[in-house]
Amino acid sequence: MSADIKSITSTPMRVGVLGFGGLGQAAAKLIAPKSEMILVAVADLKGYAYASQGLNVDKCISAYASQGSVGYLEAGGTLSSQSIQELIDCSEVDGYFLALPNLPNTFIASVAQMFMRSHWQGVLVDAIKRTSAVEQLLTLKSDFQAAKITYLTGCGATPGLLTAAAVLASQSYAEIHSVKITFGVGIANWEAYRATIREDIAHLPGYSVERARAMTDAQVEALLDETNGVLTLENMEHADDVMLELAGICDRDRVTVGGVVDTRNPTKPISTNVQVTGRTFEGRISTHTFTLGDETSMAANVCGTAFGYLKAGIELQRRSIYGLFTAAQIMPQFVK
Ligand code: NAD
């Protein structure tokens, strides 16, 4: 390989993380030892941090833990109530992972529009969960194309890793009868993943996104006390259905998602898996099951996948391929 080519291919991708809660911090830790990507930008509700040569992840985490925002970081930190907008305006970033709460259910779509209004060009990846949230992004498809943004949606664990696994599994079949996703999540305390837990509560009978968003922390605690910290979720409105329908795998009503979340124990209450049942071209009915290792955390499965899609998106962007894609349409790459 000539020196010139080597220097182009070995230039690390400059990435950013929006939202610095449970998933955002896990994303930063996961990316720190990688050589192909450097974390240059981070934003939370109260501030942002930017360093073109790379941020010190430990210092970002300790600023957030001790003072409540990465904006307090001595080198590169800025306090702001418009953190995302200011970061877009002052930084050079190839792609962002949006580890933001989707509360209200339109928030991530509004952030995407903010990028377009700023004439920003690059790759955006989300780990959005609800069908209705992905549908909002689908309506922006031609806008992303025109803005030269490559947007990959539903790139967490479910939707994300398990949806992509369902696409792979479906290759054995002539017809897909059902896709059944069951997830188990174990976290030591709910405060580490407030948005995730609020969004899960929104799926319980009698709750909505707005009701869950309006709950105080004390009300969330009280609800969790009633169930010993465990949330059992059935027939969730999860975007795996629309993503698999769009990818031509099966109608959305054949896709079901449910799970058990233990907010007081990092051990998974049940194994996370996807079962894909179908009929082969010879007429046999069978089920493929893909089960995640119980030792893998939600953070590992979501953030690993999100960066795999971010790398794939950056490759698409460099080939001038823009618009909206889902995790069911693109194969994630592996970030070294
Ligand atoms: P969290 O509550 O721990 O952290 C949210 C972060 O976003 C905080 O740092 C907060 O300061 C920041 N933030 C909030 N509003 C902001 C704003 N306007 N501007 C800038 N920053 C802002 O959240 P979490 O539990 O890490 O969850 C993040 C998202 O990941 C949620 O939407 C959740 O549903 C999603 N998620 C997806 C999957 C999946 O498999 N697809 C799994 C888990 C979580």
CB-ligand 1 contact for 22 (6 Å cutoff): yes
Buried b (16+ CB within 10 A) or exposed e, 249-259: bbebebbbbeb
Q: What is the DSSP string of 231-261?
A: EEE-S---THHHHHHHTTSS-GGGEEEEEEE
Over the stretch 44-66, which tens digit does the pLDDT of each residue have? 999 999 999 999 999 999 999 99
In a domain, 334, yes or no: no
- Please indicate, yes or no, whether residues 306 and 292 belong to a single structural domain of this protein: no
Distance from C-alpha of 66 to C-alpha of 236, rounded to nearest angstrom = 36
Distance from C-alpha of 302 to C-alpha of 297, rounded to nearest angstrom = 9
pTM across the whole model: 0.96
The predicted pLDDT at position 9 comes to 53
Residue nearest to atom 4 of ligand 1 (CA): 21
| Of 72, 80, 158, 193, best ligand 1 pocket probe by most atoms within 8 Å of the beta carbon | 193
* pLDDT < 50 positions in the chain: 1-8
CATH number at 106 reads 3.40.50.720
In a domain, 335, yes or no: no
The predicted pLDDT at position 192 comes to 95
The predicted pLDDT at position 310 comes to 98
Domain residues for 189? 161-296
- Please indicate, yes or no, whether residues 174 and 138 belong to a single structural domain of this protein: no
- Please indicate, yes or no, whether residues 183 and 150 belong to a single structural domain of this protein: no
The predicted pLDDT at position 6 comes to 42
By the 8 A CB rule, do 254 and 247 touch?
Answer: no
| Residue entry with tokens 């089920």 | 287
Q: Structural domain tally of the chain?
A: 2
In a domain, 268, yes or no: yes
